[in-house]
Structure formats: structure tokens, C-alpha cells
Chains A and B, each alone.
Chain A
Amino acid sequence: MASSAKAKTPPVSLTAVEMLRWAWRQLTSMRTALQLLLLLAVAAVPGSLFPQRPANPAVVTQYLVDNPEVGPWLDRFQFFDVYSSVWFSAIYLLLFISLIGCVIPRAAVYWKHMRSQPPITPRRLSRMPQYGTLLLPSSDIDPEVAVQDAAVLLRRRGYRVQLRDIETASPSVAAERGYLKEAGNLLFHVSLIGVLIAVAVGGLFGYRGQKLVIEDEGFTNTEIAYDSFFPGTNFDTDWLVPFSLTLDDFDVTFDRRETNYGNPIDFTGSMTVQERPGVEPRNETLRVNEPIGFGGTNVYLIGNGYAPVVTVRDGNGNIAYQGPVPALPQDATYNSTIVIKAPDAQPDQLGFVGFFLPTAVVDENGVAFGSDPDPFNPQLNLNSYYGDLGLNDGTPRNVYQLDTTNLTQLNGRNTSDGGIVLGAYQTYDLPQGKGSITFDGLKRYVALDIIFDPGKTMALISTSLALIGLVATLCIPRRRAWVRATENADGQTLVEYALLARGKDHGLDKEALKIGGLLTTHWSASYDRNQHEKAGSRQ
């Protein structure tokens, strides 16, 4: 990128300004940029080796539990937040500063170069890497016409041309092409800054939220409706688009061929959506890879699962809970964990924890396991508890976990009477007259990510420009060409042409041959025409 830094070590005595200038020159040198690049590559790797908080906070917590020795140290050095860590940020910020410090002077040089004329014609063209001569027959084309013809031809091939020494005995044309190569280089690097800004804009003014929606249930885009909501630093909840949606039906197709049995091949959610209150609702289909958009906010299908519908009756025979309860799939066959809480149960609150199996099969040890992702034989396997669910003191509780510290176990797989096993439409009466639980039906749910990223378009434009710049800078050759014509002792016109590559250029010899060939064709055509005319006038 930048010119090579000449001073490797600072001169002996430096003022503060000189010191700064020296440091700046070091930072913006190509060598430093290269080292920072390689450092960036190395620094990015730990993020793939250790669980990362932004993606998987629960896994990080588990990692810390499993590795009490190393874990805290890794955490101290931000190995679980690599991409927002001080060291990773330092590297890429230095890299971008180096990039800016390199692009600005180069842009200035390029600006001058853009407006300059091709360089003067060297005295001895034969010293150039590519050189050739054409000897034109006498009297037809004098040197001045020859260079003018050559100039036209070179301009047609994309060269910027300038005629030189026209009034003299050896006029010439100087030409240069490939100005866009450096423009591409600058565009590429500037676009990378654009990408960085786009990412920052998304982080500052966007938001991300998650919502689980069960069939026949709905969602309205307000902050409190989200299961989890992560606003950007400067996001204002007033910007939430007031859309709403209802999941009418969720359809899952599994492959039933022998070779790929039970693998999903289609997820389709039928939605009724409303852009904003008061407008006509419309039907939309939500699929993986096909989000639904509401004015910049997009709804993505991220996951799905089963929500068994249960009725819990309390010790007094009243309905304490009725409705679908989302179960979290643990594997590809949708064997799921489920937690059911009935805080309204009297005299004691009731809680259930266990598994939901879409197709339960009992193995030789009498243990039920799920054998298919479709609900051919749905079954609930639960342990039950009574006591205080801990929901009344206002502490936020995870709905997918049952805190059993203030609960007493009623039954379970480990107790003498075994746990609750419920097939479809079955009811189980709890011990000690604490109530009952009924498996009434089954619904599916979708896990949605709802995201607003205002930096997205800019990121796309920036990366597209970067790609264009990259193609230009890597594919456009920079070449200089000169053509000079003189009259020799026999009165013939001697045309010399020469080419020089700026940087590595494997195609220079071909280009030189092409130019030589074009000149020859051009002039032999006009020579033939002249001969023909002469012959015609003689007759």
C-alpha cells in the first residue's frame, strides 16, 4: 500500500513532532500493514476454537463451569468475546488507520497522475522491453502523418495519447493506459472502510430480537412482546415497525426414502401478517432462506419444534394451566425437553420437567426413546414437583428451566412409582391428590429472529464496490507506448514503436505485436489503395 519506510530506527535525537512523524511513517508502511494483516488472521482464529458469548452465551457459561482453572483466565483475556476484545479491535483499528494513512497520499498522487500527460518519448526506444520497427515505402506517409495515424490507433486501444515534437524531423506520440488500475486499488481500500462503517451503523442503530410463536398464536412488534431483545447502542424503541403476525399453520416434511430417512426437506410457515394497525391483513409464507420483510425489519425462520397442549388441574380440581407448552428439541428426531409450570395451582404450585418424544418406542430396558421426528406416537415423560415455583418474588426466571430448590418432588423416573408417562389424550392423576395432567393435543411452533440492520445496504454496496475495485486493480495492466517516425537517407519513413510495462505484465509482448500488426495492416491498406489509384490514373 504505502511507500516503503526508509528509516527503520528513529534518528538519534527526535523532537515530539519528529517522533510522531516517524511513528506515522512506520504505521503506514507496507511492511506494517502486512504484519497487521497476518496478525489479524491469527487473532481471528481463537474465536472459532472457543465458544463466543454473542453467539452462544449458554455454551460459554458451561465452558466456564467445565474448566474452572483455564476458563476464568481465558475470560480475562476476552477469549469468549474475541471479536469485540481489546486486542482484536486494536489490530483492526490500527490496520484501518494504516490503510487510511496509505490511501490518502496515494489518492493525491493518483489525482496528479490522472491529470498528467503521458511521459516524454525516450531518446532510444530500442532499449525498451518491447521494440519494433516499420519501414514504410517512400513518399506515401511522411513522419508526421505516421505518428498521427499511430495516435488514432493507440487511442482506439484505450491509451491516453499525446503528440510530441510535431514540428521537428522526428515527431512522436507518447501513450499510456491502465489509469483505472490504481483507481481500482483505491476504490477497494476505501470500500473496506465503508464496510467497517456499515457494521458500526448496524451495531449502533439496529436491533435483534427473538420470539417463539406457536400455531394459532400471534406476535405484535413491541419491545415487551419479545422473548429476548437486543437493541443497538443508539436504537430507539419508537423506531419499531408496528407490524403483527399470526402463525396459522406450520408444515414440516421429512424425507421418507430409505437412504435419507427422517431428514427434514421442507419447513413452511403460513402466516397472516399486518403491516401496521388498520391495514388489510395478508397471507405470507415463511420459509428458511425466505424472510418476511416489514419496511427494513425482517422476520427469519430460525428454528421450530413441538408444543404439546396440556391441561393441569390442581388439588382442588380447578384448571391451573391449559394450553400449548413449547418443548426444546435436543436432536434431529425432535426429542425435546419440556418444562410445564402451573403457578395458579392450589394449594401448592405445580411444576413438571421431562421429555417430549414425537414417536416414542420402548427399548429392551424399558426406556422410552424417540425414533422419528414426525408425531406418530407422541409421548410426554415427566417428573412432577409441588411447592414454590419462585415466580412470585419478581426475579426473572427462565421458562425453559425448573428451579427445584423450593420444590418437593412428587414422582419421577427415579421414584418407586415411576414418572408420568402420557400418550395422546391420556390423563395422569398426581400422587397425594395434588391434581392431574392431561395431554390434550399437539401444536408446532417457530422460533423467529426479528432483525433491523440499517447498515446492511451500505455493507452490500461497499463490498460490491470493493469487488469491482479488486477486479480492476488485479486485471487492468498499466502500459506505456511510444511511436516515433523519422525519414531515413533513402527518403523512406522509419517508424519505431516501443512498450514498457508498469509493474508485472505478462501480456506486454502480445500487446506490442498487436500494435505492430495493426500499424502494418493500417498502412499497407492505405499503400495498396494508393497503388491502386496510381494504376487507375495511368490507364
Chain B
Amino acid sequence: MTPINEALGDYSELFMLLAALTYTVAFLAFTADLMRARKLPTVTTAPAHTLEPASAAAAGTGTGAPGIRWSHGGSHPTETGPNTTDHTGIGYTPLRRPAARIAVAVSIVGLIIHLAGVITRGVAAARVPWGNMYEFTTTGAMLVMAVFLISLIFQDLRFLGTLITGLTLIMLMAGAIAYPTPVTQLIPALQSYWLIIHVSIAVLASAIFTLTFSLSVLQLIKTRYQKRAKDPESAGFLRLVPAPAALEQLAYRLNGIGFIFWTFTLMAGAIWAEAAWGRYWGWDTKEVWTFVIWVIYAGYLHARATRGWEGTRAAWLSITGYLCVIFNFTIVNVYFSGLHSYSGL
């Protein structure tokens, strides 16, 4: 067996602490950005990138030479009514948001430090860094940040920054305070390559669900606000938060991906269970809750196609699903007896 490198393990913990401190700065900057938004001039959440065809091919725009003239109309008003822009997506606006820029930059630095912490932990233990509760939480928190920052490339989700950095901080703190575990070798039951596959995808799915949970929470808050407010333009710190319909659509897309990963988690878990315990499904407490979560998100996907269930109700399902993920991870792992008692506590 490869020996444990305890000095490296200590460095890992130091990296985690530094990452948490960096995220704290990012958290403050994201919050400042939201607060500052109250004073910004009125802008709609219309996507900034206009759908202009590239002019490269339109050779002969001059008067003499006849070339090809291409014009693209882009989005036309459809049945969605005047708020069409809210439905098309959550794109970047030309709005200047220095605090948000700083927050993203600091978050990226935090993620790099965090990654260093996770990698050194793995190297120290000479295995994948997800073998006990401490490692699930720290690696999970890293994936939450990574998924969030990667999605920023495609969509302007910086309004989620406060929630996401906040949740990441809570996860890191929970890991350090509630589940501190020294670097150890794996117990025989976990010595399987399925640990790499099953747990990594489970943690990734959970990270995606963290993002959709934040979206659904904001969707509910914004819906509630819009119902009450007389002037929807003066939305306070909710100004930067897109319309509920846009949030819902994004949450739906992400939940779809999360559901695929969760289905895979369930499958990989079943295959591993077959190898370890001789049966692919045995209603062990952890299996029960993984199944419950799967069914809830399946319900969510169906809800979006059921009249009377879209919108607020679907958002509640998404939130319930995430709360079950948290419950499954914390309470079930620690307090419920079952075959999955690997929490390392």
C-alpha cells in the first residue's frame, strides 16, 4: 500500500482555509454588486449579444459589385408576449458592474487554491479525494464553484454569486468543523474503482442541484416580489435577478443534466452494490434516499409538462429535491444505520 503523506495533508488543510478566506472576499463583492444594483440606471435583461450575421461573407456591400446580402431577423415576438427577452436566456448586458467583476476574479483565484487543496489531499492519501464525509464536502464544494464559474462563460449568472459562494463557504466550514478527518487509507469496502465513478458523479450531480436550488429559490423570491411590487422596475437588490420564467428555464435545463447524472449515480451505485454485497438493490437507507431524490427530480421534469404544475410548484419540487440531497448526505450518512456507513466519523 502506498504510504500516507501527512505533511501534504496538512498543506491541503491550509489550502482549504485559504480558499475559504478567498471565497469570503468573493462573497462580500458579490453582495456589494447586488446592493449597488439598486442605484443602477434602468436596463432590461435583454441579451447583449445582438444576433447580427457576421459580415465576413457579405462581400459586395458596396454599390458596384453585387454580392450576397444576408440579414437575420433574430427573435420575433411570439406567444410569450412583451416579456420575450426574459425567455430567451440570461445573457450579459453592457452594464458596468465592477464589484461583480472583482467577485468573479476573486472566485477564480479561490477555486484554484481550492483545487490545490483537493489535489494535495488526494496525493497525500494516494487515492481519489472522496473517501469520507470531509472529502465529500470539500470536493463537492469545489465542484459547486467550478460548475458555477464554468456556467458564467455561457450565461450571466453573477446574480447567483452571493448564494453560491455562501453555500460553498457553508460546505467548507461544515467539512472543517463537523467532519474533520485525517488523511487515511480506505476501508476494504471502499476499495473499488466504482468509488471513482459512482461518488464523483454523485458529487457532480449534487453540485448541479446546488445551482438549480439557488435558481429556484430566487425564482420564488422574484415571483413573490413581482406580485407585490407596484413598480416592477424598482426591484431593489433583485434588479439583477432575471425574470422568474428565465430562471425557471435555466433551472430546468440544469436539472435535466443533474437528473442524468443522478440516474447514472444510481446505476453505478447499483453495479457497485452488486459487486460488494451481491445484490444491485436492497433498499438500504442510502439507496432509499437516493431513490426518493431520483423520483422527486423525475417528478420535477414531469411537472414542467403538466398544466398547473409549472412555475412556482415546479420550483418547490426542485427545492425539495435539493433538501433531500442535503438530508441524504448529512443525516442519512451520519445518523441512519445502513450499509453505507462510511462517513469516517
Contacts and interface: CB of A to CB of B under 8 A. Distances in A.
B264 A467 contact: yes
Interface of B: 1, 4, 6, 51, 53-54, 57-60, 66-76, 78, 88-89, 182-189, 191-192, 194, 249, 252-253, 256-257, 259-260, 263-264, 267, 270-272, 274-285, 288-289, 291-292, 295-296, 298-299, 301-303, 305-309, 317, 332, 336, 338
Interface stretch (A18-26, A374-382, A456-464): A456-464
B322 to A, nearest CB: 14
Given A34-B309, A55-B283, A289-B276, A131 B260 contact: no
Contacts of B302: 1, 30, 33-34, 37
B195 to A, nearest CB: 9
B74 A130 contact: yes
Interface stretch (A115-123, A239-247, A435-443, A509-517): A509-517
A516 B67 contact: no
11 contacts: A30-B305, A38-B296, A48-B285, A260-B182, A265-B185, A289-B191, A289-B276, A474-B301, A506-B88, A506-B249, A524-B68
Contacts of B71: 132-133
Nearest to B76: A129
A31 B306 contact: yes
Given A31-B307, A509-B51, 8 more contacts: A44-B292, A55-B283, A131-B73, A259-B4, A263-B184, A470-B260, A521-B57, A523-B68
A106 interface: no
B267 A45 contact: no
Contacts of B186: 265
Interface string A126-140: 111111111111100
A424 interface: no
Nearest to B1: A265
A470 B74 contact: no
Contacts, number: 207
A132 to B, nearest CB: 4
A459 B74 CA distance: 47
A369 interface: no
A265 B186 CA distance: 6
Contacts of A521: 57
A479 interface: no
In this complex, the interface size class of chain A, counting residues with CB under 8 Å from chain B, is: 35 or more
Contacts of B264: 467
A388 B50 CA distance: 93
A288 interface: yes
B299 A34 contact: yes
A460 B279 CA distance: 12
**Interface centre among B188, B260, B291, B299, by most A CB within 10 Å?**
B188
Given A30-B305, A48-B289, A132 B70 contact: yes
A413 interface: no
Contact of B192 (A126, A131, A289, A513): A289
A63 interface: no
A139 to B, nearest CB: 9
A456 B274 contact: yes
A298 B60 contact: no
A226 interface: no
Contact of B276 (A1, A129, A288, A519): A288
A509 B291 contact: no
Nearest to B308: A31
Contact of B295 (A44, A474, A475): A44
A55 B282 contact: yes
A4 B305 CA distance: 9
Contact of B291 (A44, A263, A288): A44
A288 B76 CA distance: 61
Nearest to A451: B278
Contacts of B89: 506
B51 to A, nearest CB: 6
Interface in A192-207: 199
A416 to B, nearest CB: 40
A524 to B, nearest CB: 5
Contacts of B54: 517
Contacts of B332: 48
Nearest to A467: B263
A200 to B, nearest CB: 13
**Interface centre among B75, B252, B306, B308, by most A CB within 10 Å?**
B306
Nearest to A252: B188
B299 A132 contact: no
Nearest to B336: A48
Contacts of A199: 281
Contacts of B57: 517, 520-521, 524
A138 B88 CA distance: 37
Interface string A520-532: 1101100110000
Contact of B278 (A82, A449, A470): A449
A127 B76 contact: yes
Given A40-B295, A260-B184, A45 B67 contact: no
Nearest to A198: B280
A453 B58 contact: no
Nearest to A490: B66
Nearest to A500: B78
A83 B283 contact: yes
Nearest to B52: A513
B283 A474 contact: no
